[in-house]
């Protein structure tokens, strides 16, 4: 498969999953739906939808993390992606389903980058089951799944299928709980993108390499991690506006730990990279945020 099939212009697959929820929460295209907007959503809910749109704009295109990982020469590592073993546990409650829908969706991007077709199809099926749990099953009907399988490696056909999926997902879900679920899908996607980056950063053996070789690997990964600060702030702002419950409160606490690391350890690294020509990158500089991202992600998928 040509790697050009999944450049940053191709919104696959995270934007697909996010769009399902955005449209479900209020993206219907018919005039009657627009006329009922004021009745369906409070001003607070409309503001949350605006936040979700901003998060999508600030998040890197879904191909960026796996493509960066692949371009620095790392080989496919099946241990990086979430296994299918606990799918049944995710189907028991909405919050787990939504968070892991975001996790699996991001994993599909990694699998596609390494041409892991069967694994990708398995995660797509997992997404279908999670979407059914959350009430957007029409986005993953059998015909679409069959078309998806047949289109692997065909960029134009995949884009067409994405558009069809978004149209299928336009049924409006009116409760604010659906907005909570949209927020969790986004959070799961964000955490998994960070997880892939920090795991590769942590696991890549650099001991026997020259500093030039180390920089070739470290710099793009560090820049990738540094670039997640604004999406993190966007997600925290969105979560703060949601109706409070135990799941939202827990996510907020966890992500605020990441925020503090961005504002301390990572801020120092970013300043040094920008201003000190003699600054030398090493893996230990991001150790704290690596450990925190891994801890949060493992808690989500357990």
Rounded to whole angstroms, the Cα distance separating 103 from 17 reads 10
Res. 46: pLDDT tops 50: yes
Rounded to whole angstroms, the Cα distance separating 61 from 9 reads 8
Count of C-beta atoms within a 10 Å radius of residue 224: 21
Please state which of the ranges 100-104, 117-121, 190-194, 294-298 shows the lowest mean pLDDT. 117-121
Whether 5 is in a domain gets the answer no
Q: Determine the number of helices (DSSP H) and then strands (DSSP E) in the chain.
A: 16, 0
Please state which of the ranges 64-68, 139-143, 207-211 shows the lowest mean pLDDT. 139-143
pLDDT tens digits along 84-108: 999 999 999 999 998 998 898 888 7
Whether 270 is in a domain gets the answer yes
> How many domains, the chain?
1
Q: Which domain holds residue 30?
A: 10-302
Indicate the SS3 state at residue 254.
helix
155 falls in which pLDDT band (50, 70, 90)? low
pLDDT tens digits along 159-203: 456 545 544 443 333 344 577 887 888 899 889 989 998 998 888
Whether 4 is in a domain gets the answer no
Whether 3 is in a domain gets the answer no
Lookup result for tokens 């704009």: 57
Q: What is the pLDDT of residue 173?
A: 34
Rounded to whole angstroms, the Cα distance separating 129 from 240 reads 29
Whether 142 is in a domain gets the answer yes
Whether 116 is in a domain gets the answer yes
Whether 103 is in a domain gets the answer yes
Find the angle CA(49)-CA(139)-CA(167) to the nearest 5 degrees: 65
Whether 34 is in a domain gets the answer yes
Res. 34: pLDDT tops 50: no
Q: What is the pLDDT of residue 164?
A: 56
The first and second tokens of residue 209, run together, are 């390499």
């Amino acid at each position: 498969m040509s790697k050009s099939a999944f450049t940053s212009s191709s919104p696959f697959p995270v934007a697909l999953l996010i769009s399902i929820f955005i449209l479900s929460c209020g993206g219907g295209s018919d005039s009657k739906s627009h006329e009922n907007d004021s009745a369906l959503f409070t001003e607070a809910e409309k503001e949350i939808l605006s936040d979700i749109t901003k998060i999508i704009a600030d998040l890197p295109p879904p191909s960026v993390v796996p493509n960066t990982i692949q371009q620095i020469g790392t080989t496919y590592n099946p241990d990086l992606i979430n296994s299918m073993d606990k799918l049944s546990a995710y189907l028991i409650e909405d919050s787990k389903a939504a968070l892991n829908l975001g996790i699996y969706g991001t994993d599909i991007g990694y699998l596609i980058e390494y041409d892991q077709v069967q694994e990708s199809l398995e995660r797509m099926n997992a997404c279908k089951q999670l979407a059914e749990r959350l009430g957007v099953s029409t986005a993953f009907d059998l015909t679409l799944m069959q078309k998806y399988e047949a289109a692997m490696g065909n960029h134009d056909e995949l884009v067409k299928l994405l558009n069809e999926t978004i149209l299928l997902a336009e049924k409006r879900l009116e409760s604010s709980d659906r907005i909570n679920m949209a927020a969790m899908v986004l959070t799961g996607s964000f955490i998994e993108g960070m997880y892939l980056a920090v795991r590769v950063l942590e696991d890549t053996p650099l001991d026997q390499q020259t500093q030039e070789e180390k920089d070739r690997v470290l710099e793009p990964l560090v820049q990738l991690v540094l670039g997640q600060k604004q999406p993190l702030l966007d997600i925290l702002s969105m979560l703060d506006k949601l109706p409070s419950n135990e799941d939202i409160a827990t996510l907020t606490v966890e992500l605020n730990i990441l925020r503090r690391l961005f504002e301390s350890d990572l801020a120092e690294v970013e300043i040094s990279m920008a201003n000190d020509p003699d600054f030398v990158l090493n893996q230990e500089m991001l150790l704290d945020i690596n450990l925190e991202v891994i801890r949060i992600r493992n808690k989500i998928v357990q």
